[in-house]
Amino acid sequence: MPPGFTDDVVGLALPESRPAAVLVPLVMHAQPAILLTLRSADLRSHAGQVAFPGGRVEAGETAEQAAL
């Protein structure tokens, strides 16, 4: 387990948490890179932040679909 993590924190699901999924797209060129997105400045949550593609898992959707 990484330093600073304990069993009582890893895997903890908070009552207000929602299922979500992200994708970590690796771009394999001469110099590998990770593809990130810039969130809109108009969003209520995490506006203007750099993030991995993905988001909340909606009803009837798989984690894979949410990540894509």
Contact 54/46 with Cβ under 8 angstroms? no
Q: Work out the angle at residue 32's Cα, subtended by the Cα atoms of residues 29 and 33, and round it to the nearest 5 degrees.
A: 115
Nearest-angstrom CA–CA distance, 38 and 48: 6
Which backbone phi and psi does 49 adopt, to 5 degrees?
-85, 155
Tens of pLDDT along 39-66? Answer: 999 999 889 999 999 999 999 999 999 9
Greatest pairwise CA separation for the chain in angstroms: 44
Enter the pTM of the model.
0.64
Any idea where the domains of the chain sit in the sequence?
20-67
Contact 41/47 with Cβ under 8 angstroms? yes
